[in-house]
Amino acid sequence: MKENEIKLRTAKKSDCPRLLELIIELAVFEREPHEVTVTLAEMEEAGFGEKPVWKAYVAEWEGFIVGFALYYIRYSTWKGSRLYLEDLIVTETWRGKGVGKLLFEQMIREAKELGLNGMTWQVLDWNEPAIKFYQKYQSAIGTGWLNGSLSKDQVSNF
């Protein structure tokens, strides 16, 4: 694969079914397939409805989406406005071929063009290939923070 064979473009609503397939693929890889509860309709509304909350870039090869990077802007009381990379997903057969590099570097450019104070993301502590990938950019991979969450049902039943 040559970099010029992969096209990057902003995601469209019609891409959402494929994005959801890749999200499920990632959840299986991360050993948490049961945690994907978002519906296609919810994803489409959140990205392309009246009040979109996320944006994404897709990587295409011959018109087929082989990966994507989905992000939103978050505010840190310590750092200010930052790009939050929610997911960087490359389908398994395309990993190691430069697709992740293209997407990640697009996210860096996006943060720069938007005038943000940096970029942040999460990576599982056992995902050595991903950690090594991010370390190529001299990124800081922290420790010590635990993730907290409430489910949709917990919020609804409060």
- Exposed, middle or buried, 16 (CB in 10 Å: 0-12/13-18/19+)? buried
Helices (H), 5-98: 16-29, 40-48
Residues marked active site are found at 134
Q: Which two tokens stand for residue 25?
A: 């693929």
CA 58 → CA 35, 48, 141, distances in Å?
Answer: 23, 15, 25
Instruction: Name the pairing type of β-strands 64-76 and 55-61.
Output: antiparallel
Whole-angstrom distance between the N-terminal and C-terminal Cα of the chain? 51
